[in-house]
Amino acid sequence: MKRIIAILVASLTGLTVLAGYFFQAQLANLTGLLIEWGILLIGLAGVIGIGYLLKMHLVRVAHWQKGSLLSLIVLVAFLVTVGIGFFLPSESAFFRNWVLNIQIPVETSLLAILTVTMLFASLRIIRTRGWTLMSASFLISALISLILNLHYLNPANGTAGAEWLEFVRRLPLAGLRGILIGIALGGLIVGLRVLLGMDRPYEDGP
């Protein structure tokens, strides 16, 4: 009985939100309420996730396990950021600079790690599968993109070289759009499977 109720609630909620895109004037209030509830649940899940991470780092520091120093840095940075956020509004220049001076270096480091990982992945593909057209094209395009994004080549604006470089730099956008289309299609398929009751991620077990 509980499974049937959960399937009905999930299906009706999803179908209502989906119908709201086609009948916006008639279902605007209802879909807005459902979306607000969803945002509230997502925020609650985020708070639970943050609490779990804090608990994990606190246990590591309390028992002085491996990586305790890094956990201590994470806890101090988190508590200082939260404390500043309680006393200063989000529009404060100091608070915004504080967050950005932490967030931007972290994002830059993650992008650098991702770049190196992709380069090693391409080399591993070449080593295991050999020099095929796809593997060679992937490696060459990655190297060209990395070199061009260093911005060492800066021809004068309006010249043929500047237009060619701008065209090459925009080529990765085609792959990005392909990835976004794939994500959208994957999300659509997963959503349909949940609406039809084929997948039930809201249940504890199969």
pLDDT of the chain, 206 residues: tens digit per residue: 666 776 677 777 777 777 777 777 777 788 888 888 888 888 888 889 888 888 888 888 888 878 788 888 888 888 887 887 777 776 778 878 877 887 888 888 887 787 778 778 778 878 887 777 777 777 777 777 777 766 666 766 767 777 777 777 777 777 778 888 888 888 778 777 777 767 666 565 54
Distance CA 154, CA 162 (A): 7
For 188, half-sphere exposure in the C-beta direction (CA atoms, 13 angstrom radius) is: 6
Residue type, 87: F
Distance CA 136, CA 126 (A): 8
Looking at residue 14, what DSSP letter applies?
A: H
Helix or strand (DSSP H, E) at 94:
helix 93-129
The pLDDT score that the predictor gives to residue 182 is 86
Distance CA 22, CA 187 (A): 19
Are 20 and 28 in contact, with CB atoms under 8 Å apart?
yes
Distance CA 107, CA 112 (A): 9
The pLDDT score that the predictor gives to residue 142 is 74
The pLDDT score that the predictor gives to residue 200 is 66
Looking at residue 156, what DSSP letter applies?
A: P
Question: 10 Å Cβ neighbour count for 110?
Answer: 10
Are 142 and 121 in contact, with CB atoms under 8 Å apart?
no
Number of H helices, E strands in the chain: 7, 0
The pLDDT score that the predictor gives to residue 199 is 66
For 18-62, give the DSSP string.
HHHHHSHHHHHHHHHHHHHHHHHHHHHHHHHHHHHHHHHHHHHHH
